[in-house]
Amino acid sequence: MSEEKKTTRRQIAAAKTLKKFMADYFYEMDNAAKTGSQKIAWCTSVGPAELLRGMGFLVYYPENHGAMLGATRMSTELIPYTNALGYSPDICSYLTCDVGSYIQKKTPLTMAYNIESVPRPDVLVFNTNQCRDVQDWFAWYSRELNVPLVGVYTHRDIGEIRDYEIKDIASQIEDLVPKLEAVTGEKLDMDRFKEAVGQSRRTSELWRACLEASAALPSPWTFFDATIHMAPAVVSRGTKEANDYYELLLPELQQRVKNGVAAVEGEKHRLYWEGMPIWGKLRALSEQFYSLKTCVVASTYCNSWIFDQLDPDEPFESMAMAYTEIFIVRDEPYKEQYITDCYNKFKFDGILFHDAKTCPNNSNNRYGMPERLSKKLGIPVLTINGDLCDLRCYSEEQAKTNIEAFIEQLEEK
């Protein structure tokens, strides 16, 4: 028993296209930053991307960069540089590693695409629907680069969504228009905007269908696969190219379902992942679950880029609704019902909560939810401590033992 069993995970054929898709995305942005051919907006990951696309911006997402810093394990060494500026190690490690990356002039884009630096923004656009940290993050760049900062302030802990909340958010999005027009020098073209909302709605439908393929027994892909293949839904929603990608991926997954192809050979257990990914440990965790014949079939995280409410006929109001109804904005009863609905759909037999040290907004274990859901659904729950990007907060041995023990527990049932 001196060595852990090595595993070979089943590859997704569309991954090759995804690789080119992401390269093209960053090359287009890099070229625009160098030549000034197109304006660049930095946007938070669930920010008003459709409006920016509709106004002709190329859209760059610092959170995507944070995830890349995490996945390449560059983040942990970059975070302390931001801490030294007075930004606590307890705040969002996307923020601290991304700013550290800027200070140190180190980016994973160099290794992956031979791109020297992230594209300089013409405007910074946030939505606080995820957390307050995004505005502090963008505010740092606004001061550093002397770039305008605009944003939407979303209501929080919402149960039933009220009209006044939607009206407020819709008018906040509409109020962004003149500020963004000042950057582009052009008036908003409503047709172009509606087109972007329509494309984004299509992205959402396709992405939902891809994720729901995991309801099949056995599941054709895993949460760990989805964290990679979600990239077009995050960075290119509102474009035809993103939809083309999912038009390619979805049939591959559907074919796997039809043929009974399992992502995890001999799938014995199915789990739900609640909380942020641990970006620097995706492979290690994926391999551990594979060796335990356990498929993580669904997650709140990957579902976060489903925006059912987008409607090109009501672009402002539907964006307000789409970006307000997401899980992270909602109250505890809503979240519990949401996971219950996922349980009914994906038929998992346990829930893993990731308590991310620097991401309280996306760590839903802290107010007794695991215990309540375990009792309600009659399935066991496990909480592991870690972080999205700061691996100093992650004890790999302890997490591995916890996961292994959790699977032992499932097998005792």
Partner 1 sequence: MTTNDDSSIFVGVDVGASHTKVAILNSEKRLVGHSVRKSGTDFTDSAEICLKSALEMANALGKKIVRCVSTGYGRKNVPFSQGTKTEIGCHARGCYHYFPMAMTIVDIGGQDNKVIKLDDKGRRLSFKMNRKCAAGTGAFLEEMSVRLEIPLEDMDALAEGAENMVELGSYCTVFSATEVLGKIRQGEKVPDIVKGLFFSVIKRVLEMDSLTDRVAMTGGVVAHNPYLVNMVEEITEREILVPEYPQLTGAVGAALFAMEEGG
Where does this chain bind partner 1 (CB under 8 A)? 1-4, 374, 380-381, 383, 385, 393-395, 397-398, 401-402, 404-405, 408-409, 412-413
**Least spacing, CB of residue 403 vs partner 1, in Å:** 9
- Of 331 and 371, nearer to partner 1 (C-beta) is 371
Q: How far is the CB of 83 from partner 1 (least distance, A)?
A: 18
For partner 1, the closer of residues 173 and 373 by Cβ is 373
Which are the contacts of 296, defined by CB distance < 8 A and separation ≥ 6?
A: 222, 223, 224, 270, 271, 272, 273, 289, 352
Q: Which is nearer to partner 1, 52 or 403 (CB)?
A: 403
Q: State whether residue 2 is helix, strand or coil.
A: coil
Q: Cα 95 from chain centroid?
A: 15
Query: In angstroms, what is the minimal distance from the CB of 95 to partner 1?
Result: 22
CB of 2 or CB of 8, closer to partner 1: 2
* Single-letter amino acid code for the residue at 289: F
Tokens of 381: 């729950």
235-241-246 Cα angle (round to 5): 85
Cα–Cα distance for residue pair 49/203, rounded to 1 Å: 12
* Backbone angles phi and psi of 297, in degrees to 5: -90, -25
In the complex with partner 1, the residue whose CB is nearer, 318 or 362, is 362
> Helix 93-104 crosses helix 62-71 at what angle (to 10 degrees)?
90
306: helix, strand or coil: coil
Q: Which is nearer to partner 1, 185 or 378 (CB)?
A: 378
Give the residue with the Cβ less far from partner 1, 170 or 389. 389
Burial 265-284, CB ≥16 within 10 A → b, else e: eebebbbbbbbbbbbbbbee
CB 115 to partner 1: min, Å: 36
Beta carbons within 10 angstroms of residue 13's beta carbon: 10
Minimum distance between the CB of residue 89 and partner 1, rounded to whole angstroms?
14
Provide, rounded to whole angstroms, the least separation between the CB of residue 94 and partner 1: 21
* Cβ at position 80, least distance to partner 1 in Å: 18
Separation CA 127–CA 129 (nearest Å): 5
Rounded least distance, CB 97 to partner 1, Å: 19
Which C-beta is closer to partner 1: that of 98 or that of 390? 390
Contact 271, 349 (CB under 8 A): yes
Give the residue among 349, 329, 331, 385 at the shortest CA–CA distance from 46.
329
